[in-house]
Chain A
Amino acid sequence: AQKITQTQPGMFVQEKEAVTLDCTYDTSDPSYGLFWYKQPSSGEMIFLIYQGSYDQQNATEGRYSLNFQKARKSANLVISASQLGDSAMYFCASDAGGTSYGKLTFGQGTILTVHP
C-alpha cells in the first residue's frame, strides 16, 4: 500500500522568499507518479505539479518545482518568490501501480502561511 508523509503541519514564510514543503512516500511499485495540490480556504483542489518516477529531471511549473530524490523517496515542493495568495493547504499525493493505477493517496497536508 502507498503511504505519503508530510511532517510539517504548518509552515510560515515571508512574502517574496522561497519555501520548501516536505513530502516522503513509501511504495514498492516501480512506476508511480507524484503530485502536489493546493487547497485554498475556499476548498477547491488545484493541481500544481507532477513528477513521474522515471523522469530524469525535476519537474517545474512556473514558481513551483519538485525536488525529486528517488533514493530517499522524497518529493519536496519548492515555491519560489512566495506571494500572499500562496497561503493555503498543500497536499502531496501519489498514484499506485497495478490495478489501482490512477488512484491518489494523499498526505495529511501542510498549511502554508505567507506573511507580508
Chain B
Amino acid sequence: DSGVTQTPKHLITATGQRVTLRCSPRSGDLSVYWYQQSLDQGLQFLIQYYNGEERAKGNILERFSAQQFPDLHSELNLSSLELGDSALYFCASSQSKGGNTEAFFGQGTRLTVV
C-alpha cells in the first residue's frame, strides 16, 4: 500500500458527461501529480500541484482541470468526455516541490467512456 488513495477505482460514463476523480496524498506529502495512462499515448504527465498551487503543467486538455485543497487532497475534473478519454488516471504524491525524490502512486481510477 503506497499510502495514496484514489477514488473511485472504476468509473463508467457516457460521452459529453463530466466526472471528478479524487486523490488523497500520503501523509505529509505536499506535491500531487496527475498522470494519464492510455494504450496509444502511454503514461503522460498531466499536472502537478504543490501545497495548493499549480506547479507544472503537461499535456492536459483544456476540458480537464485540477485543484488541490487546503487539506492537500486533489481533484481532477474531466468534462465534455470523449471516447478517447478512456484511460487509467493515476495520482502520485511526493514530499518535495521538485524532483530527486520518488513519487508514490495510487491504485488509479479506470475511466471508461461509452
Query: Using a CB–CB distance below 8 Å, which chain A residues touch chain B?
Result: 31-33, 35, 37, 43-47, 50, 52, 91, 93, 95-97, 99-106, 108-109
Contact = CB atoms under 8 A, between A and B. Distances in A.
Contact of A101 (B2, B88, B92, B99): B99
7 contacts: A33-B100, A33-B101, A44-B2, A102-B56, A103-B48, A103-B58, A106-B42
A4 to B, nearest CB: 10
A45 to B, nearest CB: 4
B42 A102 contact: no
Contact of B55 (A95, A102, A109): A102
A102 B97 contact: yes
Of the four ranges (under 10, 10 to 19, 20 to 34, 35 or more), the interface on chain B belongs to 20 to 34
Interface stretch (B17-25, B68-76, B105-113): B105-113
B98 A102 contact: yes
A71 B58 CA distance: 28
Contacts of B103: 35, 47, 102, 104
Contacts of A96: 99
Which of A35, A101, A104 lies at the interface centre, i.e. has the most chain B CB atoms within 10 A of its CB? A104
Contacts of B55: 99, 102
A11 to B, nearest CB: 18
Interface string B57-100: 01000000000000000000000000000001010101011111
